[in-house]
Amino acid sequence: MKNILCIGTGGTIASELVSDGLAPELNAEQLLHYVPQIREFCCPTCLQIFSIDSTNMSPSRWLQMAACIREHYDEYDGFVITHGTDTMAYSAAALSYLIQQCPKPIILTGAQKPIGSDNTDSKINLEDAFRCACSPLRGVMVVFNGKVIRGTRARKTHSKSFRAFSSINYPELAYIQDGHVLSFIQPDCAERPIFYDRLGERVALLKMIPGTDSALLEWLLEHNDALIIESFGVGGMPSYRGSEFYDLIAHAIARGKTIVMTTQVENEGSNLSIYSVGNRLKTELGVLEAYDMTTEAVVAKLMWILGQTQDPQQIRRLFYAPISEDLLHPASDS
């Protein structure tokens, strides 16, 4: 049987009711007591590295998770991380950049209801995660509600129901049915993973709304090294205040800031070339475009890039280099 390391981080799956609501109280070993059948097909070892509501997730915690896997990599055949659902997609994306080309499965899972609750999804998700950790699948994945989703493509799309996660602009890697992993896509890997241990945290996100004040854009650019702008439709910036938005962006890029345009629309991605409100950003100002990447992946990728370099040309090159199938884009942009 395969040796699997279960890394506990808290989340709803490990929560119990306390005086002011649900809070993570159970450790990874206690979670496995609820699913004894896991020990029938693998040899799990549990390690609790922290216990938080995933709303409290941070880049330093991503580095801690990656370091844990790096430290124990040679001892185990696969890894399961129990995690809160609210920021799981961010963590899955971050680990996809911090641990690249991994030939072993690294599975994130959790639940919409605590493992001790009636009608919980915790037990099946946990068992499915361990089955995937024992399978030939490789790399960072989210396993939830019978789906196996690439770490850079996961997004929480339902806040309460069990079908919490979707794969955005990319097919699911596999499904789990009746205890069997039905694999459709086998990600590329290397003989050994490439680990990274630095992130640049000065990354911000601005979600545009009709009437956004340019002062907000100016403040975010002043206080961060990189800014992601979630615009409308296929992408663009408003011109209701003349060229003010464009001038702020041009000035920021001239000072070495990195700006990425993406879309608030969940599916099909951006295309700045279509409308005049976006074309200038791309052709004249040199703004980066996210295309079909998820916002979660863009956030994590920029932090990973800024942990490696501050050179604008290297940032551009790394941003447009597909990693873990995070991006499909015209080669001419790189």
Q: Are 28 and 67 in contact (CB under 8 A)?
A: no
Please state, in angstroms and rounded to a whole number, the distance separating the CA atoms of residues 295 and 222. 21
Please state, in angstroms and rounded to a whole number, the distance separating the CA atoms of residues 90 and 164. 14
Please state, in angstroms and rounded to a whole number, the distance separating the CA atoms of residues 138 and 102. 6
Please state, in angstroms and rounded to a whole number, the distance separating the CA atoms of residues 217 and 302. 18
Is there a catalytic annotation at residue 12? Answer: yes
Q: Please tell me which residue in 9, 12, 262, 263 is annotated as part of the active site.
A: 12
Element (H, E) at 127: helix 122-133
Beta bridge partners of 3: 43
CA–CA–CA angle 219, 276, 232 (5° rounding): 55
The pairs formed by 277-284 with CB atoms below 8 angstroms and a separation of 24 or more are: 277/236, 277/237, 277/238, 277/239, 278/231, 278/234, 278/235, 278/236, 278/237, 280/246, 281/235, 281/236, 281/237, 281/246, 281/249
Active centre residues (catalytic) = 12
